[in-house]
Amino acid sequence: MESRAVVLLSGGQDSVTSLFWAVHKYDEVHAVSFDYGQRHRVELEQVPKILDVVTQFHGNIVPHAVLDMSLLAQLGGGGLTNDNLDVSEPHPLATELPASFVPGRNLLFLTAAAAYGYQHDAFNLVGGMCETDFSGYPDCRRKTIDAIEDSLLRGMERTFQIHTPLMHLTKEDSVSLARTLSGCWEALAESHTCYEGHRPACGGCPACRIRLRGFCKAGETDPLEYAA
C-alpha cells in the first residue's frame, strides 16, 4: 500500500490536528509518541484516548508506539525536562529562545519516526511543526524539515516526505482547520497543551495562553477543560 503514514503524536493540539489531517489523507496511519521525561508527561496518557476518537469516527485502528527518548533528559533537556527551570523565561543557553526549547528534539524525533516508518513501509511522516507560532524553535522551521528529508534520503536511501500541514498556519487557522476534520474537535478535548502538566489545564502558562488565544481569535470555544 502506497498510502501509509507515520504521525508524530505528542498529544498536543497541533499533533492531534495533524493526526486527523493524516487520517483524512492516508489509508493507513501509524502514530509514534516520545517519552523524554517531559514535565507535561500527562500528554502521553491522553494519546490512547485520542486514538479511540479516530476509531470512533473513522473505524480504523491506529497502531501506536511510545518510543523511549529519555536520552533527551540525560542530555540536559531544557525547561520541558527540568523541574527547576521556568518555561516562561528565556533559555539559559540561548536567550533568543524560550526555556522550553529542547536542543535536538525534533531532529531526533523525526529520525526515530523515519526509522519506525522504514520498518513499516511507511515513507510519509506527518508532524505538527509550525514556524508561525510564537516560540521560534529552529527545529520547527520548514527549512530544517527539508534538510532532515535530505538527510533521511542520504542516510536510509529511501525518499521520506515530511508533511507539516500546520507549518504556515496561525493558531487560529489551525483551529479553523480542526473544525473541518471529522472527529478532530472531539479529540482536541482529550489533547494536552499545558506545560504545567495540569488537567484540567491551568489556563495561565505560556502554552495555555497561546492555545486559548488561537481559539478566541478563531471565534471558537476550546473543547478542552480548564481550571476555573
For 58-87, b/e burial (b = at least 16 CB within 10 A) is eeeebeebebebeebbebebbbbbbeebeb
Residue 186 grid coordinates: 472531539
Q: What gap in Å lies between CA 82 and CA 132, rounded to an integer?
A: 26
Q: Is 85 in the site for Zn ion (CB under 5 A)?
A: no
Please list the alpha-helical segments (H only) found in 120-183: 142-156, 171-180
CB neighbours of residue 143 within 10 Å = 9
Would you give the DSSP letter of residue 157?
Answer: S
Q: Is 80 in the site for Zn ion (CB under 5 A)?
A: no
Stretch that binds Zn ion, among 4-12, 38-46, 97-105, 194-202 (CB under 5 A): 194-202
Q: Is 224 in the site for Zn ion (CB under 5 A)?
A: no
Interacting residues with Zn ion between 52 and 71 (CB under 5 A): none
Q: Which is nearer to Zn ion, 67 or 189 (CB)?
A: 189
- Contact (Cβ atoms closer than 8 angstroms) between residue 125 and residue 161: yes
Q: Is 87 in the site for Zn ion (CB under 5 A)?
A: no
Q: How far is the CB of 211 from Zn ion (least distance, A)?
A: 8
Tell me which of 54, 205, 218, 224 binds Zn ion, using CB under 5 A.
205
Q: Is 42 in the site for Zn ion (CB under 5 A)?
A: no
Q: Site size for Zn ion, by CB under 5 A?
A: 6
Q: Is 194 in the site for Zn ion (CB under 5 A)?
A: yes
Q: How far is the CB of 228 from Zn ion (least distance, A)?
A: 14
Interacting residues with Zn ion (CB under 5 A) = 194, 196, 201-202, 205, 208
